[in-house]
Amino acid sequence: MRKILSILTTLAALLSAPATASTDFYHHKGGSVTSFYSIEDPGGCVRTDVTLNAWESLTKTGPGPFEPAPNLMLDIEQVDWCGLGYLRSAFGTSADFEISVSNSTTTASVRGRVDLYDSVRGTTSSAEIDLHWTGGDPLIVSTDNNFWFNGPSTRSLARGSTRHREGEVTGAILYEGVDLTAGATGEGGIYSEQGSLVTI
């Protein structure tokens, strides 16, 4: 308890002091979502795993308003387990999307597009995303997450808190004319986060 109080006292002192050339501040907040689908073809040979992560990510490095810095990552892995070979291995990131996360973390949605490079085929194609999350109970709350990081010439204190719910994901991911999630329900999570990083 004394260690936690000491960390909080130090952070309060750093945040109340004017920024100098030797003190850097980074603050972030916002909602985020994760989803995972695993779909097998009727023959049981080909499995497609689809993983998506998206962040609202509002950030700032000092006084003033938060600025949006959204990011989305989509990964598609398709394996033929009978033929023992990869059919697809596509990955991409994008800021061209809309994300909405409710304050209660019970609902969320992501709509947008992302260009994916397939390292198996050596091609780039776009994916269109329209997914919806429904969060269930319980609400999991994690607070007072404080960590010191010691570098060669700097010391950083990271502080954050998170609220999240696990739930179901429905909707569509269209890739090369095919809805990869057709008829499937994905697993996912809805998050609301805030935190700061002070480096001295």
Give pLDDT tens digits for 185-196. 899 999 998 888
pLDDT for the residue 38: 92
Answer yes or no: is 11 within a domain.
no
* E runs forming strands in the chain: 24-40, 46-55, 58-60, 67-68, 71-80, 85-94, 97-101, 107-118, 123-135, 140-150, 155-175, 178-179, 186-199
Count of domains for the chain: 1
Asked whether residue 136 carries a pLDDT value surpassing 90, the answer given is yes
Write down the residue that tokens 């809309």 correspond to.
98
d(CA 190, CA 133): 7
pLDDT for the residue 23: 63
DSSP annotation of 180: T
pLDDT for the residue 75: 97
Average pLDDT over residues 115-132: 96
Enclosing domain of residue 45: 25-199
Asked whether residue 148 carries a pLDDT value surpassing 70, the answer given is yes
Answer yes or no: is 135 within a domain.
yes
CB atoms within 10 A of CB 52: 24
More confident residue, 26 or 189: 189
d(CA 136, CA 123): 38
Up-side HSE of residue 169: CA atoms within 13 Å toward CB?
A: 27
Answer yes or no: is 13 within a domain.
no
pLDDT for the residue 11: 40
Answer yes or no: is 138 within a domain.
yes
pLDDT for the residue 143: 76
Answer yes or no: is 60 within a domain.
yes
For residue range 28-78, list pLDDT tens digits in order: 788 999 999 998 888 889 999 999 999 998 887 877 788 888 999 999 999
d(CA 170, CA 183): 9
d(CA 41, CA 180): 11
Cβ atoms 195, 167 nearer than 8 A:
no
pLDDT for the residue 158: 81
Answer yes or no: is 130 within a domain.
yes
Answer yes or no: is 7 within a domain.
no
Asked whether residue 182 carries a pLDDT value surpassing 90, the answer given is no
Q: Which stretch of 5-19, 46-60, 119-133, 148-162 has the lowest confidence by average pLDDT?
A: 5-19
Answer yes or no: is 19 within a domain.
no
